[in-house]
Amino acid sequence: MQASNKAKKFRELFAELEQCDEEYQRLKIEDMREIIDGMDEDEIRSIFTEEIFNKISKMIKEKKLSMENAIVLLKHVGYHSDIKNVWVYSFERSSLNKRIEKLMIDENEKKDEKNGKLLINLCECHLLLANGFSSELLSICASCLLKVALNKEENEETKKEVEMALLALKNLGMWKEIKKDLFLNDTKEIIKYHQEHRNLTQLAYQSAWQFLIGRLFADKSLVDAIVNEMHFIREARRELEDLSKYVDWKRKEEEKERGKGKGRKEENIFMRWVETLTTFFCGCTSWNEEYSGLISSIVSAFRTARDNCGEISRKCIFSLMEAASNRAINIDDLLKEGALDIVLEEIQQQTLNDEMAGECLRFFIEFSRRLKRKTNDENREDENGEEIRKKVFEKIEEEGYEDAVVNFYETIDFLNNEYYYELSLDISDYFVNI
C-alpha cells in the first residue's frame, strides 16, 4: 500500500468509527492497526496530529467512541511509534492527554470499586504517547506497571501484558522524580527471574534494562547493582549475539522503508540494545574490566550491520564516541577491541554519508582529547598514555587519516548546520599530538 493510500485508508476507517457500534468499531480498529504497522515515521506524524487526538477526545465525550475502544487504538499507536522510535509530540498538547491524565488521577484516588485494568491501560497510553509527566503521574505509573511486569505466568496473554507494561515503563528511565525504593527491588526481581527462567519476550527484557539503565542519569549509585548484581554486560553481549542470528541483514532497502520483511522486530530490538549501551557508557562512573567486552560487542555489531543497516552502524559509532568521552572507560580498551580500526575504515569510505561522517569526526574529537598530553585541569592521565599515543599516531598515519579529515574540513560548517554535531572548527582537535 503506497504512502498516500495508507493515509487515505486510515482516515476513511477513522471517519467511519462514529457510525459503528462498539463491536464493529473494534474490527475497524484492528484494520487500522495493520495500517499503522506499515507506516514510516513521516506517515505516523502526519496522521496523528493534535487535531485527530482532540477528535478522539470529543468522540469519547459525546459517547460516539467508547473509552475501551479508544484505548485499544491509542495503544496501537503508542506501541508502533515506540518500536519505530517516533515521538508523537502532538499528543502532549491535546485535550485527549488532559482527559487521560484526569482519569488516571481520579481512578487512582478511588477507595472502592477501583478499575485496575482501566488504570493500567491509561498508564500505558500516557507513557507511550506523552513526552512530559507530573511527579504524581510518575509515581502512579511506576507503581501500577511494575505490578503488571512482576506477573510470572507463562501464558501468551500475560507475556503480552508484561511486554506492554515494560515498554511503557522504559520511557520513565531518565525522570529524576522516581525514587529508588519505588522501582529498584521490583526491577531486580523482574530481570533476575528472567535470567533464570527466560519468561520475558526479547522486547520486554530489553525494555526492562532500558528503564533501569536510564535511571543512571538520576542516580549514579545504581552502577554497582547493574554491573555486579544483575550482570548487565554479560546479558547485553548475549542478547546482541542472539539477536544477530535472527535479523535479516540483507533485507531490501525498500522493505526496510515500509517496515516489512523477516527479522524486522529483531532488528528494532537490536538497535534498542545499542542505544541502551550508549546510555550506559554515558552513565557509568568507574572502570570495570568487563567494559572491554562491551566495546568488542559494539564493534562486532557495527561490522555485522555496516553494509545493510546504516542506522544501526551509525548508532554503533555514536555509542563508541560516548565511550571515548567517558574517562571511566579505559582508552586502551577502545584501541585493543578495534573501535579505532572501524572508525578509520569508515571515514575513508567513498560512500560515506554526511551523518556517518559527523559521527566519525565526533569520535575522533573525543578520542583525541583523551590521548593528548596531561593538562592542568585534568586529574590524571590514562595509564601507559605515551605508549598508546604512539600506537594511535602510527595507525592513523598509516591509514592516511589526516588527509581524509582535511578533505572533510571544508564541509564541517555544513555538517554542523545540518546535523547539530557541534564539530570543532580547529583542525588540530581531530589529531593526536605526540
Tens-digit pLDDT profile for residues 66-81: 999 999 999 999 999 9
Tell me if 369 is assigned to some domain.
no
> Is 97 a domain residue?
yes
Burial class of residue 180 (count of CB atoms within 10 Å of its CB; 0-12, 13-18, 19+): middle
CA distance 64 to 21: 9
* Amino acid (1-letter code) at residue 283: G
Domain that holds residue 36: 1-132
Is 179 inside any structural domain?
Answer: no
Instruction: Note the pLDDT tens digit of each residue in 9-20.
Output: 999 999 999 999
DSSP character at residue 215: G
pTM across the whole model: 0.90
DSSP alpha helix (H) spans, 201-338:
202-214, 223-224, 232-246, 253-258, 264-283, 291-305, 310-325, 331-336
Residue 30 forms part of a structural domain: yes
DSSP string of 270-290? HHHHHHHHHHHHHH--S--TT
Per the domain annotation, does 84 fall within a domain?
yes
pLDDT at 176: 63
Residues 137-160 pLDDT 10s: 888 999 999 999 999 998 999 999
Q: How many domains does the chain have?
A: 1
Lookup result for grid cell 546510555: 279
pLDDT at residue 226, as a whole number: 94
Residue 78 within a domain: yes
DSSP H or E run through 109: helix 95-109
C-alpha distance from residue 273 to each of 100, 133, 201, 242, 297 (Å): 31, 25, 14, 12, 11
Nearest to 363 by CA among 394, 338, 339, 389: 339
Q: Please count the other Cβ atoms lying within 10 Å of the Cβ belonging to residue 366.
A: 19
Residue 29 lies in a domain: yes
Q: Is residue 261 part of a domain?
A: no
Query: Could you say which residues of the chain have pLDDT below 50?
Result: 261-262, 374-381
At 352 the pLDDT is: 87
Q: Cα separation of 1 and 3, whole Å?
A: 7
